[in-house]
């Protein structure tokens, strides 16, 4: 059953309800761990790239390490979703952080000595990164009360954006004083912070041996073991109970596979060939991050009446990013388009995570979240692989137009699905309930 809203009297008297979310010690610990994991996740490919620059790593080796890291990530996401629902979400975060914390120094050990060792360690690092995603998502729902989850999710995404904005300058500064091996050891320390700092969440509300646990009652009343596939299939069935979730996930996957691919491949080409400078690339990416920061700050306080439609509209405006690359426009137009896309993506992300935590059954939340990450992030590399050959075959303008139209159309189609107006199965025709009153 979805977690019911807090009754009015309890909500109004809850201690710390009106305090900023980062003053809540339990959430601050969770936020610090998630921030450390995000910084470590971002830093690994950047530091490995520095290894190519100082010739301790070849470009081919870099490609191999990033590829096996992605494979490890995608393989671990569904496994972690099942484990986080069967057992302690805090335990999954701990072991995932420890795995990545050990893997980063092992990459340093293999640097210049053993490519197979580096590849295995990179796969383990990717697995730790993937395992953290659904566990952190579900742990947020355990630690933060329903009234403050949107604020909490905004704080989480703000940390990601700030890391992306200041991370390159910080890493470049550290590289002046430390070599690649020392930086890899530092990444390992960040993962230890992610492993040990977050606290334990509340009980998932399931009795031992029931719900999402690793055992279920047999016809004779004795518990029996449930396979991994059966548990994951339960998560898929839970996702199918929420048409708005499937529609939103389809739209998100389409936008990431096309819009993000245009950003990753076409934007550098356009910046070089049309404008003759890398400044457009750097300016657009900085504008996107700044826009995302603004969007997260905005949605932390705003509660639109049609929250789902507002979120899908925010997702759709990512289409302006590839559209700005179709025609010869002033660089300021490209940067503005990317700033708008950044605002829009956070207007989608924060309500999306909050609605998932509210609507999905508590004992299946990690599995449904893993399905989210598996599809949306899992298909992104496919888009990156296909867009360059498509540009070679058809030219950049037709491909970018297709990407832009897809970004606009996919959320619009998703908005037609019942429940997407409020991201809820329970309210499809009227506005959201007043604060403190249960949803009928």
CATH code for the domain of 242: 1.20.1250.20
Q: Report d(CA 128, CA 383) in Å as an integer.
A: 24
The predicted structure's pLDDT at residue 18: 57
Phi, psi of 7 (to 5 degrees): -60, 155
Give the domain range for residue 285: 231-414
- In a domain, residue 407? The reply is yes
- In a domain, residue 15? The reply is no
The predicted structure's pLDDT at residue 172: 74
If asked whether residues 30 and 94 sit together in one domain, one would say: yes
The predicted structure's pLDDT at residue 220: 38
The predicted structure's pLDDT at residue 415: 95
Q: Which token pair is 28?
A: 């601050």
If asked whether residues 115 and 235 sit together in one domain, one would say: no
The mean of the pLDDT values for the chain is: 83
If asked whether residues 352 and 243 sit together in one domain, one would say: yes
- In a domain, residue 315? The reply is yes
- In a domain, residue 151? The reply is no
As averages over each run of 10 residues, the pLDDT of the chain (440 residues) reads 37 49 87 90 86 82 87 90 90 94 93 90 93 90 89 89 76 83 92 90 47 38 64 90 94 91 83 85 89 90 88 96 92 95 94 93 91 83 80 88 96 95 71 38
If asked whether residues 51 and 128 sit together in one domain, one would say: yes
- In a domain, residue 226? The reply is no
Range 234-240, long-range pairs (CB < 8 A, 24+ positions): 234/364, 234/367, 235/81, 235/82, 235/85, 235/364, 235/366, 235/367, 235/368, 235/370, 235/371, 236/367, 236/371, 238/360, 238/361, 238/364, 238/367, 238/368, 239/360, 239/368, 239/371
* pLDDT tens column, 45-70: 888 888 887 888 888 888 888 889 98
If asked whether residues 44 and 129 sit together in one domain, one would say: yes
If asked whether residues 301 and 409 sit together in one domain, one would say: yes
The predicted structure's pLDDT at residue 204: 55
If asked whether residues 376 and 244 sit together in one domain, one would say: yes
Q: Report d(CA 373, CA 66) in Å as an integer.
A: 18
* pLDDT tens column, 194-203: 999 988 766 5
Q: Report d(CA 111, CA 180) in Å as an integer.
A: 9
- In a domain, residue 222? The reply is no
The predicted structure's pLDDT at residue 421: 93
Q: Report d(CA 306, CA 318) in Å as an integer.
A: 20
- In a domain, residue 355? The reply is yes
Any idea what the Cα angle at residue 233 is, between residues 230 and 237, rounded to 5°? 135
If asked whether residues 173 and 264 sit together in one domain, one would say: no
* pLDDT tens column, 354-401: 999 999 998 899 999 999 888 887 777 777 778 888 888 888 899 999
* Statement: the pTM of the whole predicted model exceeds 0.95: no
Number of domain units in the chain: 2
If asked whether residues 250 and 372 sit together in one domain, one would say: yes
If asked whether residues 190 and 236 sit together in one domain, one would say: no
If asked whether residues 283 and 333 sit together in one domain, one would say: yes
If asked whether residues 169 and 258 sit together in one domain, one would say: no
- In a domain, residue 324? The reply is yes
């Amino acid at each position: 059953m979805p977690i019911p809203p807090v009754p009015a009297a309890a909500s109004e008297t809850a201690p710390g309800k009106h305090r900023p979310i980062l003053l809540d010690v339990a959430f601050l610990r969770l936020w610090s761990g998630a921030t450390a994991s995000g910084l470590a996740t971002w830093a690994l490919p950047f530091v490995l790239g520095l290894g190519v620059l100082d010739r301790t790593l070849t470009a081919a080796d870099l490609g191999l390490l990033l590829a096996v890291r992605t494979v490890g990530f995608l393989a671990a996401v569904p496994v972690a979703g099942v484990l986080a629902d069967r057992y302690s979400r805090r335990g999954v975060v701990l072991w995932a952080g420890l795995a990545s914390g050990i893997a980063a120094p092992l990459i340093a050990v293999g640097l210049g000595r053993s490519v197979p060792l580096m590849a295995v360690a990179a796969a383990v690092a990717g697995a730790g990164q993937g395992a953290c995603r659904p566990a952190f998502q579900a742990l947020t729902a355990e630690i933060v009360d329903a009234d403050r989850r949107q604020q909490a999710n905004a704080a989480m995404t703000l940390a990601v954006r700030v890391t992306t904005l200041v991370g390159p300058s910080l890493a470049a500064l550290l590289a002046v004083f430390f070599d690649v091996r020392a930086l890899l050891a530092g990444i390992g320390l960040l993962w230890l912070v992610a492993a040990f700092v977050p606290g334990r969440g509340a009980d998932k509300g399931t009795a031992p041996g029931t719900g999402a646990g690793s055992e279920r009652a047999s016809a004779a009343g004795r518990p029996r073991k449930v396979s991994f596939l059966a548990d994951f299939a339960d998560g898929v069935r839970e996702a199918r109970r929420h048409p708005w979730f499937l529609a939103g996930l389809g739209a998100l996957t389409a936008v990431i596979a096309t819009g993000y691919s245009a950003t990753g491949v076409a934007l550098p080409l356009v910046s070089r060939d049309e404008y003759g400078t890398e400044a457009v690339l750097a300016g657009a990416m900085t504008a996107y991050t700044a826009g995302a920061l603004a969007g997260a700050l905005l949605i932390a306080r705003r509660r639109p009446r049609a929250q789902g439609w507002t979120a899908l509209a925010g997702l759709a405006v990512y289409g302006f990013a590839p559209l700005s690359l179709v025609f010869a426009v002033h660089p300021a137009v490209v940067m503005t388009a990317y700033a708008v896309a950044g605002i829009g993506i956070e207007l989608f992300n924060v309500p999306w995570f909050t609605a998932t935590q509210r609507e999905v059954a508590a004992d299946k939340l990690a599995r449904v979240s893993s399905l989210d990450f598996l599809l949306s992030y899992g298909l992104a590399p496919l888009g990156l692989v296909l867009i360059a050959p498509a540009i070679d075959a058809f030219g950049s303008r037709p491909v970018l137009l297709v990407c832009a139209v897809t970004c606009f159309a996919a959320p619009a189609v998703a908005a037609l699905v019942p429940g997407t107006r409020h991201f809820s199965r329970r309210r499809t025709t009227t506005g959201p309930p007043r604060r403190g009153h249960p949803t009928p």
